[in-house]
Structure 1
Amino acid sequence: MKVAKFGGSSVASAGQFRKVAHIVLSDEQRRIIVVSAPGKRFKEDIKMTDLLIQLANKVTNGDSCDDVFTAVMERYEEIAEGLELSSEIIEKIKADLKKIIDNYKNEPERLMDALKASGEDNNAKLMAFYFNHLGHEAHYVNPKEAGIFVTDEPGNAQILPESYEKLKDLKKRTGILVIPGFFGYSKTGHIVTFPRGGSDITGSIVAAGVGAEVYENFTDVDSIYCVNPSIVDNPRKLKELTYREMRELSYSGFSVFHDEALEPVYRAGIPVCVKNTNNPEAPGTWIVAERDHKEQPIAGIASDTGFCSINISKYLMNREIGFGRKVLQILEDEGISYEHTPSGIDNMSIILRAAQLEGEKEQRIIDRIQTELNVDDIHVERNLALIMVVGEGMEQTVGVAAKATMAFAKANVNIEMINQGSSEVSMMFGVKEEAVNRAVKALYEVYF
């Protein structure tokens, strides 16, 4: 059995629905499919999820929402008409949307989660209806029915362990099963969504639950590239990479895979194949437990912007027991997560997403660290980008770091910071945002 997940661009129009049906029906092992909400049909288009967020905001604010409601329905109607489906399914979708608004109009967080989830939910109903229309046995399976139970954290659901036992029952069912991605149900019966991009998470959970042979993730690229193709022209395609490498790359800015999505299949040891809905014959990229690193120790280079660094100096910092814990406690008190903490004997840097230091938070944190820890100097450095060089082969390869520093020097890029974890899966470099693309190109040249 294979579990196949189809992303937003794969289910954005009637033409894409036909491609999905062809792919599913061409392999009888593809018995369970997970679908996203309709994505962009063209570059300037708006994703269904963004329309639904607009709809939720208008309802919450008490504004007229007729125009956005109509826009949402028109997207589904266009798909249904293009597939020559009866109006019965569209009437059902319209009724479901109105019911969500009526049920949750006075609960903004619940309304937002339920409306966002409806994008996937209604697309799954449409997909199952289409397979039936083609004469094949297919069933829409609601996540509650499937057994996807999650924590009650709107917009940030985590799967509950007992879900995996319930998901096993899906193997007993007949026909093609169509499951909406992106959400599950809390124990109190509420719809709760995973973080954005969470259809990948659903696909991974379902694959692990049913013990699939392969988890196929269909998107709009032939394979995963070793670097962002918008930075480097025609970069090398990756035949395979490991779960740990993919996790590091997706966290660091690779948008192909949500960075939490691999955990269930990693635990279950299920290989993942990333394929192209528009070119299903292409071999794609395999994500596996182990790969041969000899030919290519580096798997990829990822970069992301929007970081800042809180730099702290204090003479004899290393002798002060509990110093680091106290700094991190101040961040925790302010509800701030950090990414890295490179340090020396008398200094410490905390790298975090700059958007977290909103309003008065920044000054409050600086004041607390200054007064509570009596530091010699503290300042915030903004406009930082992080670049990750990722590859499990680094550990056995001499000169990987030397190549990186040589590339930066050649490209005239100043390194603000370097950090390498003990696992030696990745090296992190901090540079100024305006230099990030130049740095990535230079790294690509030396490694690939």
Structure 2
Amino acid sequence: MKVSKFGGSSVASAAKFKQVAQIIQADKERKMIVVSAPGKRYADDTKMTDLLIALAGKIQLGEDYVEEFGKVIDRYREIVTELEMSEEIITEIIDNIDSLISLHKNDPFRLLDCLKASGEDNNARLMAAYLQHLGEEASYVNPKEAGIFVSDEPGRARILELSYEELPKLKEREGILVIPGFFGYSEQGNIVTFSRGGSDITGSIVAAGVKADLYENFTDVDAIYSVDPRLVEKPCEMKEVTYREMRELSYAGFSVFHDEALEPVFKSGIPVCVKNTNNPKAKGTFIVSKRKVGDQPVVGIAGDKGFCNIHVDKYLLNREIGFGRRLLQILEDEGISYEHTPSGIDNISVVMREHQLTPEVEERVLDRIQTELEVDNISIERNLALVMVVGEGMNSSVGIAAKATEAFAKAGVNLEMINQGSSEVSMMFGVKADALEKAVQALYNTYFNKMYSISYSSVK
């Protein structure tokens, strides 16, 4: 049995609905389908989720929202009309959105969460109705009915263990089950969404809950590439990558797979295959527990902007018990999460997402560090980018880090910091944000472009 998730670009129009239906019908093992809200039909289009956010905004301000409501319904109506389906499903969708507005119009946070969730919810209703229209035995399954129970944290829900007691019951049902992604229900009965892009999380949860043989994640690329194809022309495709490698790459900027979505399937050991809706015959990329490394220790390179670094110096810091704990406690008190903590014998750096350090927070943090920890020097470096070199094979290969630093030197990229975890699945390099593209290209050429490596070696 397979759980198949279709992203927003895969269900953006009537033509895409037809493609998805053909994919489902082509394999009888595809019994459980998870869908996103309609994505962009073309470059300048607006995603359904953004239309719903605009609708919620108008209601929250107490303004007329007829136009925004109409845009939402028109997207669904266009799909229904082109698929030559009954208008009854549109009436059902209108009634659903109306009921959400009536129920939550005086609670802006719940209203926003419920309306965002309705994009996936109503698209699942529509997909199930279309499969029935084609003669398939299919049914829409609400997340509450499916047993997807989450923490009551709008916009950042976490799955509850109770869900894994309920989800196996889905296997007892007949036909194709269509489940909306992106949200679940709290134990109090509230609709609660995952973070943006969380339909991947739903697919992974369902796959783990029913102990699927495979979780298929359909998107708009043939495979996951070793580097962002916007930065490198015709990059290598990754045929196989481990959960740990994918987690590192997702964290560092790979947008193909939501970085929280791997946890359920990772714990259950269920393989994932990322496939192309537009080219379903392509093998795609498999995400697995273990893979054969071969002669290519590095599997991918990723980079992301928007970081800053707090650097602290104190003589004999290494002898001061509890210094690191107290430093991180100050950040915790301010609600700041950190990414990396490179350190030396008399210094330590804390790398974090830059948006967390507003001017007011920065002033409080620096004052507390100076006063409570009595440091010699403290500084903040902004506009940083992190570049990750990822590969399970790096721990048994000599010279991986040396190649990276040589590549940066040749490309004229200045290194701000280096950090390598004890697992050696990844190496992190900090560079200035404006040097990110050059840094990623230099690393890709070093590890993947053999002609470049040969010519570089001959020059040396």
Task: Note whether the superposition's TM-score is higher than 0.5.
Answer: yes
Q: Distance in 1 between matches of 2:425 and 2:94?
A: 49
Q: Give CA deviations for 1:297-326 in whole Å, capped at 9, x if unaligned.
A: 111001000100011111111121111111
Aligned to 2:199: 199
Aligned to 2:210: 210
Aligned to 2:422: 422
Aligned to 2:86: 86
Alignment of 1:300-379 (within 5 A): 300-379=300-379
Aligned to 1:155: 155
SS at match of 2:135: coil
**Matching of residue 181 in structure 1 with residue 181 in structure 2:** yes
SS at match of 1:419: strand
SS at match of 1:360: helix
Alignment of 1:223-234 (within 5 A): 223-234=223-234
Q: Distance in 1 between matches of 2:307 and 2:171?
A: 45
Name the % identity: 68
How far apart are residue 98 of structure 1 and its match?
A: 0.9
Aligned to 2:439: 439
| One-letter amino acid of the counterpart of residue 36, structure 2 | S
Q: Distance in 1 between matches of 2:57 and 2:391?
A: 42
SS at match of 1:381: strand
Aligned to 2:105: 105
| One-letter amino acid of the counterpart of residue 345, structure 2 | I
Q: Distance in 2 between matches of 1:174 and 1:24?
A: 15
SS at match of 1:293: coil
| One-letter amino acid of the counterpart of residue 351, structure 1 | V
| One-letter amino acid of the counterpart of residue 322, structure 1 | G
SS at match of 2:76: helix
Alignment of 1:16-415 (within 5 A): 16-415=16-415
SS at match of 1:100: helix
SS at match of 1:439: helix
Q: Distance in 2 between matches of 1:197 and 1:344?
A: 38
How far apart are residue 68 of structure 1 and its match?
A: 1.2
SS at match of 2:258: coil
Q: Distance in 2 between matches of 1:109 and 1:296?
A: 48
SS at match of 2:3: strand
How far apart are residue 260 of structure 1 and its match?
A: 0.9
Normalized against structure 1, the TM-score is what?
A: 0.99
Q: In the comparison of the two structures, how many residue pairs are matched?
A: 448
How far apart are residue 63 of structure 1 and its match?
A: 2.0
Which shifted more, 44-53 or 58-67?
A: 58-67
Q: Distance in 2 between matches of 1:422 and 1:65?
A: 54
Aligned to 2:453: none
How far apart are residue 372 of structure 1 and its match?
A: 1.4
| One-letter amino acid of the counterpart of residue 18, structure 2 | R
Q: Distance in 1 between matches of 2:106 and 2:350?
A: 40
Which shifted more, 101-110 or 426-435?
A: 101-110
SS at match of 1:345: coil
Q: Distance in 2 between matches of 1:57 and 1:358?
A: 25
Long gaps (5+) in structure 2: 449-460
Q: Distance in 2 between matches of 1:171 and 1:204?
A: 16
Q: Distance in 2 between matches of 1:65 and 1:317?
A: 59
Q: Give CA deviations for 1:189-234 in whole Å, capped at 9, x if unaligned.
A: 0000111111000000101111111100000000000000011111
How far apart are residue 52 of structure 1 and its match?
A: 1.1
Q: Give CA deviations for 1:265-311 in whole Å, capped at 9, x if unaligned.
A: 11111110000000001110001111111221111001000100011
| One-letter amino acid of the counterpart of residue 51, structure 2 | L
Q: Distance in 2 between matches of 1:361 and 1:64?
A: 37
How far apart are residue 112 of structure 1 and its match?
A: 1.2
SS at match of 2:238: coil
Aligned to 2:5: 5
Cα root mean square deviation, aligned:
0.8
Q: Distance in 1 between matches of 2:307 and 2:64?
A: 38
Q: Give CA deviations for 1:61-105 in whole Å, capped at 9, x if unaligned.
A: 212222111111111111111111111000110111011111111
How far apart are residue 359 of structure 1 and its match?
A: 3.7
Q: Distance in 1 between matches of 2:295 and 2:109?
A: 50
Normalized against structure 2, the TM-score is what?
A: 0.96
Q: Distance in 2 between matches of 1:123 and 1:300?
A: 34
SS at match of 1:202: helix
Q: Distance in 1 between matches of 2:53 and 2:377?
A: 43
How far apart are residue 165 of structure 1 and its match?
A: 1.8
| One-letter amino acid of the counterpart of residue 331, structure 2 | L
Which shifted more, 225-234 or 311-320?
A: 311-320
Q: Distance in 2 between matches of 1:152 and 1:359?
A: 30
How far apart are residue 169 of structure 1 and its match?
A: 0.8
Q: Give CA deviations for 1:83-141 in whole Å, capped at 9, x if unaligned.
A: 11111000110111011111111111111110110000000000000011111110000
SS at match of 1:95: helix
SS at match of 1:75: helix
Q: Distance in 1 between matches of 2:423 and 2:8?
A: 34
Q: Give CA deviations for 1:11-68 in whole Å, capped at 9, x if unaligned.
A: 0000000000000000000011000000010111111111111111221121222211
| One-letter amino acid of the counterpart of residue 18, structure 1 | K
| One-letter amino acid of the counterpart of residue 31, structure 2 | R
Q: Which runs of 4+ in 1 moved over 4 A?
A: none
Q: Distance in 2 between matches of 1:190 and 1:223?
A: 37
Q: Distance in 1 between matches of 2:181 and 2:154?
A: 15
Which shifted more, 60-69 or 199-208?
A: 60-69
Q: Distance in 2 between matches of 1:370 and 1:83?
A: 65
| One-letter amino acid of the counterpart of residue 335, structure 2 | G
